[in-house]
Amino acid sequence: MWDQIVDHARREAPRECCGVIVGPAGEFRELHELTNTYESVDFYEPEPNLLFQVYREADARGWEFSAIYHSHPVSVAYPSQRDVEHAGWPDSVYIICSLEKPETHYLRAFTIVDGEIAELKIELT
């Protein structure tokens, strides 16, 4: 899924990409690219109908949003103040893909709960 996120970020640049990864609690099974409806390059706003459809399908399977990802095309992979203010899924992991230096893209993962940011270690398996 790492490569899928990076590919999505590159295709959408200079706008931010966004998507979700769903699965049983604590598992990352399926990646779903979403459409960013935000008109500028410094934030993302998932298309609400598609977001709800993915949520409904995951819920029907007893799955959850394990991770929510987006890109920072020209900045570091760290939650912005706006990212923190809009972090509405406290049980999800937030993954940010930075293309600040496109040849050395990188991903970082965080939890965001009640405005508090904690970085998580990403282990590729």
Question: Contact 69/5 with Cβ under 8 angstroms?
Answer: yes
Sorted by where each starts, the structural domains of the chain and their CATH numbers stand as 2-73+86-102 (3.40.140.10)
**pLDDT digit string, tens, across residues 42-98:** 899 999 999 999 999 999 999 999 999 999 999 999 999 999 999 988 889 999 999
Give the pairing type, strands 106-113 and 116-120: antiparallel
Peptide bond into 79 cis (omega under 30): no
> pTM to 2 decimals?
0.94
Confidence of residue 125 (pLDDT cuts 50, 70, 90): confident
Confidence of residue 123 (pLDDT cuts 50, 70, 90): confident
